[in-house]
Structure 1
Amino acid sequence: MYKNTLLIIILFLTATFAGADDLVTCSEIVPMRNRYDKISITDFGGVGDGKTVNTKAFREAIYRIEHLGRIGGSLLYIPPGVYLTERFNLTSHMTLYLASGAVIKATQDTSTWPLADPLPSYGRGRERAGGRYMSFILGDGVQDVIITGENGTIDGQGDIWWNLWRKRTLQYTRPHLIEFMNSEDIIISNVILKNSPFWNVHPVYCSNVVVRYVTILAPPDSPNTDGVDPDSSSNVCIEDMYISNGDDMIAIKSGWDEYGLAFGRRSSDITIRRITGSSPFAGIAIGSEMSGGVENVLAEHINLFNMGVGIHLKTNIGRGGYIRNITLSNVYIENARKGIKIAGDVGDHPDDKFDPKALPVIRDIKMKSIWGEKILQPGLVKGIKNAPFINICLSDINLNGPYKARTRPWECSDVKGSSLKVSPWPCSELIGSLDGTCFTHM
């Protein structure tokens, strides 16, 4: 199945990106670096037979990179084969390079999986109170780290975690596949990420992060397998990707209620470009955990198929924070329950200590050149009483319903905005006069 999927991906990306605009790329944020010191996992006893557990080999190889300190860093080469391993940590100034046919596969013994403290901006695990399982591949406090190769695979073998979650027997939050914390100058490129236990890529408290030419795959019913979730991070570039998963394809976050407000680190200056995929949830999402604030986001040239929601900005009372200066353009959506959703009643709370008077600010949201087919409801924009969403700007939007099927009209409340050339006709709250600010620079 995955071979056929990858063939479709390659053909689609070739057709889609060949005519893309010549725009600023991720390489301007973090340039790719060559490593002149190269070692192989087989130098440390690694065996790619799919049965041998290679945890010792990975940890010894990375220990060698960390303590030898070669000028310019070191590259750890993973040759073709299936390398089963427990989780491991990365170190600064290293490249993890997966050859074509190389697979790094997580073991499935959850009883030995170590725990980590909850993130301070969340105050607890995202799924369960208390700590959380450590991510399969983790870089904490590192810089200049690259995960790349020849489209080798990192396989989280998440089905055992998904089943434990469905049975409600997990005591802690499931592990991410790849996580970087308190880190900078990170590149993830030219790899396939498959069957993550929880979120696939989670840069949190990071700066200068590039995720490009990555394929993310998980079954549509796999719970919470978000694709890429920048979280309280800045200068992030995500581009040229295919994602087919069980939750939001890309979700920007910045902390949860009173914990995110106290931590106070925003997500900002994020570019998302040329993303294709499908999900029962959202294609491009912001929130619902956004208490540290999210601003200066550009998402463009997005192709979404068989979606729950195409574009979803989500928040709730008690969040505080803000979502502002967001631009989404050149988005195609085919077969979705909702084309656009901006809502102030989405998401739960970490505990009962949140302040219901901490109301989020949602403003300066610009959406242009968005079109779709087989959309059951073109849009829903519902703000919060006493905290309306303002300056919601819609331009050149055409979201058609299914052939001969009844579609729901736009729904709006507690929102102010303007629109230009929008079909079906939006609700009255979004038909304000064009005062010159809404469509500036659109």
Structure 2
Amino acid sequence: MNKILKLSFGLLAIGNCALAQFPGINLPKVKQVGFKTDTFNIKQYNAKGDGITLNTKSINDAITACSTKGGGVVLVQGGVWLTGPIDLKSNVNLHLDRDAVLLFTKDFDQYPIVEGTYEGLPAGRCKSPISGKDLQNIAITGSGIIDGNGDAWRMVKKDKLSENQWQDKVNSGGVLSADKKTWYPTQKSFNGSQATDPGVLKDGRTIKDFEVYKDFLRPNLVVLNNCKKVLLEGVTFQNSPAWNLHPFLCADVTLRAVTVKNPWYAQNGDGIDLESSTNALIENSTFDVGDDGICIKSGRDEAGRKLGKPTENVIVRNCVVYHAHGGFVIGSEMSGGAKNIFVYNCSFLGTDVGLRFKTARGRGGVVENIYVTNINMKDIGAEAILFDMYYMAKDPVVLAGEKREAPKVEALPVTEATPKFTDFHVSNIVCNGAATALFIRGLPEMNISGIYLNNLVIKAKKGVVCTEATGVYIKNLQLITEETNPVISIDNSQSINLDNITYNANSNLLFRVSGSKTENVAVSNTSTAAVKNKVEFKDGATAKSITIK
């Protein structure tokens, strides 16, 4: 028990103190859990770790007994514990020993459709393997493995598998799409792919209406709804049917020293989606997943704006993200807003995008007061740093043979559905390898604004692309790029300040300045002696648009 008590109680709360990384700024305070010493071993409730016996009732009975008697530790010892959905209870620490595997059954009948949310909208989904609602003081700790058996649920694109892997899928049964490029595990799963807004609770729909494509409504592995004081520590969470970890409307969430894994081809296989939650700490954890790694969300479109609950006061530190669509991500479901987010001392190795801030028209919401520093990146498939208000729900890296058209640029009226990105502070970034160093793309009616970038060294194929932005301040940027025509592109943007920019000697073109709205571009402490051409003007931009001192 002493080991378990140390896990539960030996935790330092994050106080209101300023760190050297963010001078003058007090970081959020995250309250921590605490548990009684009483232990409830699931074996005492007739659970068997033989990988065959279905232990759903035994495990839930142990959790209920623990909570009813004032709380404590529910102990999962070594073994393979096959189970259906588990319901957490207040004041319970579900603890897995090192050699314990909590394995969720492939029997879809064990997962009824329940009301919840998915991708920011009210939705019917299959019940999550682990869930809790309106709870206080809960934890999942230890060093064991929680496996969601996600391969049984997931559809898979042929382009994401080797030929042998694809043939294994096809030979296992299931259903192919009409173009033979996507495999679905069951007919119901395929039916859902053909439905309009499958699972979304609107227009008088009820969860009974979704039974015809139930298998398509893949559950998130762990869903915590409106819970206070949450700890996830030490455990490996893997193989989720959809998202892996989903705290929603929670407060005081700590994620510490966990490992989160999914196959790289796992569609919607996010690591953690922290949604509409307040006061959170994500630290010393490792992610290797099929979609976004560490992601901040707050609802989608009108539903998210109506809820109006931002994700705020969040610390992310000392984490490593391997494969993921984005290392650290905000959006695209951010309609309730996001603010006061602090990210530091993290490494992104092989992610599609490093820092990924995404939204789209229709979302609304304000993302502001974002602070990121001391980030190391390597082998980034697309952009090292991305701000994009034209999110199109596609993989960041274009697949072989895939063609994508640039979005049509037109100014629309500003409404409550117009999103806003402002006040981002990004510093001390090192990236060895990316397709594009920095990509900023705002809307004509709502420019991305207040972007402060300082001390960046980025090796990439392409340099900087800045479109429809106002108030971008880049200082001490070293670019090593393969393409040098141009190194930096600025389009329809205002008040762009570039200070101490270094780049490849003998580059073909330093700046391409375009658009009749581009003005007040100021360049200082930047040598132009070695470049073949300093500036090219296009589409209404003139020499008055830029000043090089």
TM-score with structure 2 length normalisation? 0.68
The answer to whether structure 1 residue 222 and structure 2 residue 266 are counterparts is: yes
How do 1:225-304 residues align onto structure 2 when only pairs under 5 Å count?
Answer: 225-304=269-348
Q: CA deviation at 1:120?
A: 9.3
Q: SS in structure 1 opposite 2:295?
A: strand
Contact 1:317 1:356 in 2 (8 A): no
Structure 2's unaligned 5+ residue stretches are 1-18, 156-173, 175-181, 193-212, 394-412, 480-486, 500-519, 521-549
Structure with more contact order per residue of length (Cα contacts < 8 Å, sep ≥ 6): 1
Identity of aligned pairs, percent?
A: 28
Q: CA deviation at 1:422?
A: 1.2
2:137 pairs, out of 141, 144, 148, with 144
Contact 1:373 1:400 in 2 (8 A): yes
Name the counterpart of 2:467. Answer: 413
Q: SS in structure 1 opposite 2:61?
A: helix
Name the counterpart of 2:147. Answer: 155
Name the counterpart of 1:82. Answer: 80
1:338–1:147: structure 2 CA closer, same or farther, 3 Å change rule?
Answer: same
The answer to whether structure 1 residue 340 and structure 2 residue 385 are counterparts is: yes
TM-align CA RMSD: 2.5
Q: Alignment length, in residue pairs? A: 396
How do 1:393-432 residues align onto structure 2 when only pairs under 5 Å count?
Answer: 393-401=452-460, 407-416=461-470, 417-424=472-479, 426-428=488-490, 429=493, 431-432=496-497
AA partner of residue 343 (structure 1):
D
How do 1:2-401 residues align onto structure 2 when only pairs under 5 Å count?
Answer: 29-68=30-69, 70=70, 73-119=71-117, 122-125=120-123, 131-149=124-142, 151-163=143-155, 166-167=183-184, 169=190, 170=192, 171=213, 172-336=216-380, 337-347=382-392, 357=415, 358-401=417-460
Q: CA deviation at 1:374?
A: 1.5
Q: CA deviation at 1:156?
A: 0.4
Q: CA deviation at 1:100?
A: 1.1
AA partner of residue 108 (structure 1):
K
Q: CA deviation at 1:408?
A: 2.1
Contact 2:293 2:324 in 1 (8 A): no
Separation in 2 of the partners of 1:426 and 1:369?
20
AA partner of residue 160 (structure 1):
A
AA partner of residue 229 (structure 1):
D
1:245–1:258: structure 2 CA closer, same or farther, 3 Å change rule?
Answer: same
Q: CA deviation at 1:90?
A: 0.5
Separation in 2 of the partners of 1:313 and 1:23?
21
AA partner of residue 360 (structure 1):
P
Separation in 2 of the partners of 1:287 and 1:238?
17
AA partner of residue 420 (structure 2):
V
1:155–1:273: structure 2 CA closer, same or farther, 3 Å change rule?
Answer: same
Contact 1:74 1:94 in 2 (8 A): yes
Q: CA deviation at 1:141?
A: 0.5
Instruction: Find runs of 4+ consecutive structure 1 residues off by over 4 angstroms.
Output: 21-24, 425-430
Contact 2:33 2:137 in 1 (8 A): no
Q: SS in structure 1 opposite 2:43?
A: helix
Q: CA deviation at 1:279?
A: 1.8
Contact 2:76 2:96 in 1 (8 A): yes
TM-score with structure 1 length normalisation? 0.84
Q: SS in structure 1 opposite 2:276?
A: coil
Q: Deviations over 1:124-166 (max 9, x none)?
A: 44xxxxx1112110010000001101x1000001001113784
Q: SS in structure 1 opposite 2:443?
A: coil
Q: Deviations over 1:273-332 (max 9, x none)?
A: 011121241000000000000000001111111111001000000111111000111111
Separation in 2 of the partners of 1:97 and 1:155?
15
Contact 1:121 1:263 in 2 (8 A): no
Separation in 2 of the partners of 1:59 and 1:146?
15
**Quick check: which has more Rg, 1 or 2?**
2
Contact 1:121 1:254 in 2 (8 A): no
Q: SS in structure 2 opposite 1:198?
A: coil
